[in-house]
């Protein structure tokens, strides 16, 4: 398993993953291009042992002089047959590291309230629920905004534990 920066050549595969994960609710090519081509954003892919791209994550940063630097996860997706194998966690860790490298103090994301696997993953790295978002994903598709303090000692402890 390897996580690396996304390249333009990865886009056809990444767009297939996006459609497989989110169907018509997914992001379009323009969103992926913006994350690839703008300095304040990031895009990473996960490859399996055969070198196939099986997941991606898009990361955003906000630049505001009025408040602490914030960042977030725009989207994360893993090919359904490769889920629960650690790809999502590795992608999430790469995204959070990218945000820390760019001195973000906080990260946020939105997730369906019915997506138990994603909620569990996000909680396991320290995200906490901050706000329920009624109909965020359309009729009867409530979302949850989650936030993470990137200066949290929990993250530092988890990072230190990773090598043991």
Domain residue limits, the chain = 2-161
Tally Cβ neighbours within 10 Å of residue 25.
12
pLDDT digits (tens, 9 = 90+) for 110-120: 999 999 999 99
Measured CA to CA, the distance from residue 62 to residue 139 in angstroms comes to 29
pLDDT digits (tens, 9 = 90+) for 45-78: 999 999 999 999 999 987 665 565 889 999 999 9
Measured CA to CA, the distance from residue 2 to residue 54 in angstroms comes to 10
2-161: in CATH 3.30.300.20: no
Name the pTM for this structure.
0.85
Here the tokens at position 164 are 């043991």
Half-sphere exposure (Cβ direction) of 37: Cα atoms closer than 13 Å: 8
């Amino acid at each position: 398993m390897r996580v690396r920066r996304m390249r333009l050549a990865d886009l056809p595969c990444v767009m297939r993953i996006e459609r497989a994960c989110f169907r018509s609710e997914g992001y379009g090519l323009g969103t992926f291009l913006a994350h690839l081509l703008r300095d304040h954003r990031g895009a990473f892919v996960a490859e399996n042992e055969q070198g196939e791209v099986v997941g991606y994550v898009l990361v955003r940063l906000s630049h505001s002089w009025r408040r602490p630097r914030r960042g977030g996860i725009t989207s994360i997706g893993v090919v359904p047959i490769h889920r629960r194998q650690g790809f999502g966690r590795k992608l999430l860790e790469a995204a959070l590291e990218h945000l820390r490298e760019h001195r973000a103090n906080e990260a946020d994301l939105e997730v369906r309230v019915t997506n138990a696997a994603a909620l569990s993953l996000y909680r396991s790295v320290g995200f906490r629920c901050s706000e329920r978002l009624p109909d965020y994903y359309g009729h009867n598709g409530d979302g949850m905004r989650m936030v993470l303090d990137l200066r949290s000692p929990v993250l530092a402890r988890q990072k230190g534990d990773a090598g043991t």
